[in-house]
């Protein structure tokens, strides 16, 4: 919890969750390999078309759906993934992790985002930001999603709001300090324990 405590002391409470209800599931698919700002554009277009719901997404043509979500990138692939997800949700409105992972195009990160943020189930979400930060801190270097997820879930309290807040803090830190290129190390709140910073010095 020392990393969490330092991050929240520096950045403050983030209180950031990606949307509500079904919108979370759609956003989780659309955010694959793209920035959230591009996803928001696509979500707004779906809302304007009254199509941010299971009924519409099931009936809408692929061409129409691709046009609405084009800003999210890889829109043809994502349209198929959304259709696959909607087909599951239309027959099973509360799928478990195994069932979500059976949907073509849904990996661990997308599935756990849906479970944590929509269904309020305690799965810590791991993303590229988490891998980067933990590797630079010298805390984890293997690159296995499930293994790093277990590291978090075995070492912090099993608390859904904590999982959400911790992940939001890691995202904030990766964007403001621990950037992929040219990280800002001088003012980093985790600098006193960062192997990457020590190597630079």
Beta strands in 62-125 (DSSP E): none
- Determine whether 115 is exposed, middle or buried from the number of CB atoms within 10 Å of its CB (0-12, 13-18, 19+): buried
Q: Residue 115, CB half-sphere, CA atoms under 13 Å: how many?
A: 21
131: number of Cβ within 10 Å: 18
The pTM for the full model equals 0.91
Please, which pLDDT band fits residue 55 given cuts at 50, 70 and 90?
very high
In tens, the pLDDT along 89-145 reads 999 999 999 999 999 999 999 999 999 999 999 999 999 999 999 999 998 888 799
CA torsion 42-43-44-45 (nearest 10°) is 50
Mean pLDDT of 34-54: 95
Percent of the chain with pLDDT over 70: 98
Identify the structural domains of the chain with CATH numbers, from first to last: 2-14+124-200 (1.10.1670.10), 22-118 (1.10.340.30)
The pLDDT of residue 165: 97
Q: Which of the two residues, 199 and 181, has the higher pLDDT score?
A: 181
On average, the pLDDT of the chain sits at 93
Q: Three-state SS across 142-176?
A: CCCHHHHHHHHHHHCCCCHHHHHHHHHHHHHHHHH
Cα separations in angstroms, 134 against 108, 122, 141 = 18, 21, 8
Mean pLDDT of 178-189: 91
Residues 6+ apart with CB under 8 A from 62: 76, 79, 80, 83
Backbone angles phi and psi of 138, in degrees to 5: 80, 20
User: CA angle at residue 165 from 160 to 168, to 5 degrees?
Assistant: 130
């Amino acid at each position: 919890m020392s990393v969490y405590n330092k991050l929240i002391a520096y950045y403050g409470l983030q209180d950031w969750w990606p949307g509500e209800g079904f919108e979370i599931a759609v956003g989780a698919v659309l955010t694959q390999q793209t920035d959230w700002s591009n996803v928001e554009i696509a979500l707004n277009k779906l809302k304007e078309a009254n199509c941010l719901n299971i009924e519409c997404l099931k009936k809408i043509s692929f061409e129409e759906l691709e046009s609405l979500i084009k800003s999210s990138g890889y829109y043809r692939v994502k349209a198929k993934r959304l259709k696959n997800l909607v087909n599951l949700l239309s027959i099973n409105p509360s799928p478990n992790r195994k069932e979500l992972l059976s949907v073509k195009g849904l990996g661990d990160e997308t599935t756990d985002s849906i479970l944590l943020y929509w269904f309020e189930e305690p799965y810590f979400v791991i993303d590229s930001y988490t891998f980067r930060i933990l590797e630079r801190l010298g805390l984890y270097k293997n690159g296995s999603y499930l293994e790093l997820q277990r590291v978090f879930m075995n070492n912090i309290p099993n608390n859904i709001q904590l999982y959400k807040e911790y992940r939001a803090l890691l995202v904030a830190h990766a964007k403001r300090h621990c950037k992929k290129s040219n990280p800002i190390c001088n003012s980093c709140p985790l600098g006193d324990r960062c192997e990457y910073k020590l190597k630079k010095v």
